[in-house]
């Protein structure tokens, strides 16, 4: 249930291993789109896999929950859990999905297993999903139906590859529900990945803690890189040195403009709200969120310094609007605060992204700001710009040579690389006024 990133990609991963999957969504246009082989979002490899599995007959899509439940053994709940005002996950869609599951299960004469993949904070399954299914079905778990938690760890941009080869598969199983455990272990056997079986709440907390620790790592890397740039050290080299310690590892230490996306900021806020509900102070997730708010301003400081201390009347190219490369997703993108700060300081901002331009226009509109100047052509954006900020490390940008990058720009032709897309030493050797996150000034 749910044909967003998690739902559709999970479906394709199961099809890959020969399982038959019916995608259910309450939005008819989405079902129609999936049935016609059109993914509702851009994600590498998804369109091809969708065409393949529709063609082989392993995948279909419907709005009819009861029909889908009647012809399957397991339902994965993959509906969105947006943030509430206090940062906690809004479980409205999940509760509604669980109720419709309960109604579908009520008339079944077979056992059905319901598995929550949607990201939630601990106890959501036991306190929201379970009672919703129980009340609507008139049946009790685990005798009448089963409920399990199976969080998803896929990343946008490599979603299908991640879903096919996750580092681990986490199964939260209710006490004594051996049938649910056996069914899920069998389902995942062809994936041949490490499997961890926990309580419902254990699985819920693993997802939240994993995302939060990754985000905290990024925030810490940003602080270290900022420090390095204030002395004669290259923050990227420093973090490489840190990451070479096998106890720390090299991953998620890429300093930049901060983290965005649908998981990290929301997950940290949800962890803060959940911790406080338990009387815990949530010091680390709060600090990571604070650091992430500061980091776009640190990048704008670099632009100001590169433009002699004043952005008034300057033309700035903003390259990369998506929250990361290989996606058209702009949720919580750091491009938005950078864009706003540049405008506030009087700059004219011209934007570019290979995929996310129209989504960024919509995001800016939702903020109540004037229509942003988003151009299709990279050359148009760079032409006459005094500075260019690289906010998303798209491969398309990485392939640009120093001359292509700056030849049409206007003095001082400064490049502010918020993601270290380019090799700074190569850029500086080629005469480019190159400023980068974690680097001392040129
Ligand atoms: C994340 C988790 O990685 C994934 O396990 C979970 O299921 C969903 O949330 P995603 O948000 O798709 O995935 O992207 P990810 O690659 O983790 O990056 C998140 C943000 O952190 C991006 O804005 C990215 O630019 C930033 N980031 C990541 C850094 O700034 N530095 C890094 O070293 C890594």
Domain count, the chain: 2
Confirm or reject: Cβ of 156 under 6 Å from ligand 1.
yes
Confirm or reject: Cβ of 236 under 6 Å from ligand 1.
no
Supply the residue whose CA is at minimum distance from atom 26 of ligand 1: 259
Residues 255 and 146 in one domain: no
Residues 177 and 243 in one domain: no
**pLDDT tens string 322-361:** 999 999 999 999 999 999 999 999 999 999 999 999 999 9
Does 169 map to a domain? yes
**If phi over 0 gives left and psi between -120 and 50 gives alpha, with beta otherwise, what is residue 309?**
left
CA distance 430 to 403: 8
User: What pLDDT sits at residue 267?
Assistant: 96
Q: Which ranges of 138-231 would DSSP assign to H, the alpha helix?
A: 159-164, 178-188, 200-230
What is the reported pTM? 0.96
**pLDDT tens string 109-122:** 999 999 999 999 99
Instruction: At 13, list the tokens.
Output: 């991963």
Confirm or reject: Cβ of 314 under 6 Å from ligand 1.
no
Question: How much is the CA Rg of the chain, to the nearest whole Å?
Answer: 24
**156 closest CA partner among 294, 25, 333:** 333
Whole-number Å distance, alpha carbon 157 to ligand 1 midpoint, is: 10
**419 closest CA partner among 395, 385, 383, 401:** 395
Helix axes 264-277, 283-306, angle to 10 degrees: 140
Maximum C-alpha span of the chain: 74
Structural domain harbouring 250: 234-436
CA distance 358 to 366: 13
Residues 176 and 281 in one domain: no
Does 51 map to a domain? yes
Beta bridge partners of 89: 83
Residues 105 and 241 in one domain: no
Give the rounded percent of residues in the chain with a pLDDT score beyond 70.
100
Does 298 map to a domain? yes
Structure confidence at residue 233 as a pLDDT band (50, 70, 90): very high
Residues 70 and 9 in one domain: yes
- Residues for the chain: how many in total? 442
Tally DSSP H helices, then E strands, for the chain: 19, 13
Residues 173 and 35 in one domain: yes
Does 217 map to a domain? no
Residues 283 and 387 in one domain: yes
Supply the residue whose CA is at minimum distance from atom 11 of ligand 1: 261
Does 227 map to a domain? no
Whole-number Å distance, alpha carbon 155 to ligand 1 midpoint, is: 7
Residues 123 and 244 in one domain: no
Residues 153 and 271 in one domain: no
CA distance 74 to 110: 11
User: What pLDDT sits at residue 255?
Assistant: 98
Residue among 257, 261, 299 whose CB has most ligand 1 atoms within 8 A, to mutate: 261
Does 151 map to a domain? yes
Does 303 map to a domain? yes
Beta carbons of 271 and 264 less than 8 angstroms apart: no
User: What pLDDT sits at residue 374?
Assistant: 98
Residue among 324, 338, 356, 419 whose CB has most ligand 1 atoms within 8 A, to mutate: 324
- Of 152, 175, 198, the position where a domain reaches its end is 198
Whole-number Å distance, alpha carbon 324 to ligand 1 midpoint, is: 8
**68 closest CA partner among 14, 29, 40, 104:** 104
User: What pLDDT sits at residue 342?
Assistant: 98
**pLDDT tens string 84-97:** 999 999 999 999 99
77 pLDDT more than 90: yes
Residues 163 and 254 in one domain: no
**pLDDT tens string 133-169:** 999 999 999 999 999 999 999 999 999 999 999 999 9
254 pLDDT more than 90: yes
Residues 111 and 48 in one domain: yes
Residues 177 and 46 in one domain: yes
**pLDDT tens string 235-250:** 999 999 999 999 999 9
pLDDT, mean of residues 261-272: 96
Q: What is the CATH number of the domain that holds 146?
A: 3.40.50.720
User: What pLDDT sits at residue 81?
Assistant: 96
Does 210 map to a domain? no
40 pLDDT more than 90: no
- Of 198, 218, 248, the position where a domain reaches its end is 198
Give the rounded percent of residues in the chain with a pLDDT score beyond 90.
99
């Amino acid at each position: 249930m749910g044909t967003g990133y998690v739902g559709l990609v999970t479906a394709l991963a199961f099809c890959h291993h020969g399982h038959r999957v019916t995608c259910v969504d309450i939005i008819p246009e989405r079902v129609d789109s999936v049935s016609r082989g059109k993914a509702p979002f851009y994600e590498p490899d998804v369109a091809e896999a969708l065409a393949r599995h529709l063609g082989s007959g392993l995948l279909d899509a419907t709005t009819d929950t009861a029909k889908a439940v009647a012809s399957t053994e397991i339902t994965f709940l993959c509906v969105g859990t947006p943030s509430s005002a206090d940062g906690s996950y809004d479980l409205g869609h999940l509760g509604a999905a669980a109720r419709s599951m309960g109604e579908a299960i009520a008339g079944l004469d077979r056992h059905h297993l319901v598995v929550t993949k949607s990201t939630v904070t601990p106890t959501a399954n036991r306190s929201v999903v379970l009672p919703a299914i129980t009340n609507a079905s008139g049946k009790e778990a685990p005798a009448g139906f089963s409920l399990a938690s199976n969080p998803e760890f896929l990343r946008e941009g490599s979603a299908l590859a991640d879903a096919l080869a996750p580092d681990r598969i986490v199964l939260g199983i209710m006490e004594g529900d051996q049938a649910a455990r056996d069914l899920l272990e069998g389902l995942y056997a062809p994936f041949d990945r490490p499997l961890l079986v926990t309580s419902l709440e254990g699985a819920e907390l693993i997802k939240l803690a994993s995302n939060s620790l990754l985000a905290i790592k990024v925030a810490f890397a940003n602080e270290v890189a900022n420090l390095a740039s204030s002395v004669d050290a290259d923050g990227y080299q420093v973090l490489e040195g840190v990451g070479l310690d096998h106890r720390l590892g090299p991953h998620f230490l890429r300093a930049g403009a901060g983290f965005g996306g649908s998981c990290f900021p929301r997950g940290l806020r949800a962890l803060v709200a959940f911790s406080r509900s338990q009387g815990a102070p949530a010091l680390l997730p709060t600090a990571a969120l604070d650091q992430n708010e500061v980091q776009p301003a640190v990048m704008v400081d670099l632009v100001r310094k590169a433009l002699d201390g004043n952005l008034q009347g300057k033309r700035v190219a903003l390259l990369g609007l998506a929250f990361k490369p290989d996606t058209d997703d702009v949720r919580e993108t750091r491009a938005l605060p950078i864009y706003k700060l540049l405008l506030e300081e009087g700059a004219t901002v011209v934007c570019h992204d290979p995929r996310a331009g129209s989504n960024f226009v919509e995001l800016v509109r939702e903020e109540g700001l004037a229509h942003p100047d988003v151009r299709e052509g990279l050359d148009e954006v760079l032409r006459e710009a005094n500075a260019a900020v690289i906010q998303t490390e798209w491969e398309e940008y990485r392939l640009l040579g120093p001359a292509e990058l700056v030849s049409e720009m206007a003095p001082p032709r400064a490049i502010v690389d918020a993601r270290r897309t380019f090799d700074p030493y190569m850029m500086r050797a080629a005469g480019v006024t190159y400023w980068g996150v974690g680097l001392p000034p040129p």
